[in-house]
Amino acid sequence: MRLAAPRLPFLLPEYGETETGQMLRTLKYILEVLFWMVAVAALLFGGALLVSLGLAPSLFFLGIAGVLLSLPLFMRLVTHSRNRRAVVVLSYLEQAVRLNLPLPRMLWAAQRSEPGKTGYRLAQFRQRLEDGLPVAYALEVAAPEVPERQISMLAAAERVGRMPQALARLVDEVAQRARRDVLDVMFYRMYPPLMIIAVSGVIGLIGVFVLPRYQAIFNDFGIKLPWITLAVFDSARMFAPLVAMLALCSALWIGGRTLWETFHPMRIGDTVLRAGIDRLLWFLPVSHGLQRDRGLADVLEFLADAMDAGAPADRALAEAAELRTNMVLKLRIRRWAQLVASGRDLQSAAREAGMPTIVHGMLAMHGTGEDAKNVFRFLARYYRSRFSRMSAFLQAATVPAMVMLFGLLVGTVAFSLFMPMISLINSVSAGNRGL
Mean pLDDT of 419-428: 77
pLDDT (tens digit per residue) in 175-185: 666 555 544 55
Position 205, amino acid? L
Euclidean distance between CA atoms 26 and 38, whole angstroms: 19
Neighbouring residues of 305: CB distance < 8 A, sequence distance ≥ 6: 157, 160, 162, 165, 166
**Does residue 186 sit in helix, strand or coil?**
helix
b vs e for 296-317, b when ≥16 Cβ sit within 10 Å of the residue's Cβ? bbbbbbbbbbbbbeebebbbbb
8 Å CB contact between 291 and 329: yes
pLDDT band at 405 (very low <50, low <70, confident <90, very high): confident
Mean pLDDT of 64-73: 69
8 Å CB contact between 322 and 334: no
- Which secondary-structure segment (H or E) carries 110? helix 103-113
How does the average pLDDT of the chain come out, rounded?
77
Comparison of pLDDT for 265 and 288, the residue scoring more? 288
Say how many residues make up the chain. Answer: 435
Residue 119 confidence (pLDDT) above 70:
yes
Mean pLDDT of 278-292: 88
Residue 333 confidence (pLDDT) above 90:
yes
> Measured in whole angstroms, how far is the alpha carbon of residue 253 from the centre of its chain?
13
Residue 32 confidence (pLDDT) above 50:
yes
pLDDT band at 11 (very low <50, low <70, confident <90, very high): very low
pTM for the predicted model, two decimal places: 0.72
User: Please, where in the chain does CATH 1.20.81.30 lie?
Assistant: 272-392
Q: What is the Cα Rg of the chain in Å?
A: 28
**Is 272-392 a domain of CATH 1.20.81.30?**
yes
DSSP states of 29-52 as a string?
HHHHHHHHHHHHHHHHHHHHHHHH
- What separation in angstroms does the CA of 84 have from each of 174, 264, 345, 358, 430? 9, 16, 44, 38, 71
Per-residue pLDDT, 5: 36
pLDDT (tens digit per residue) in 120-130: 888 888 888 88
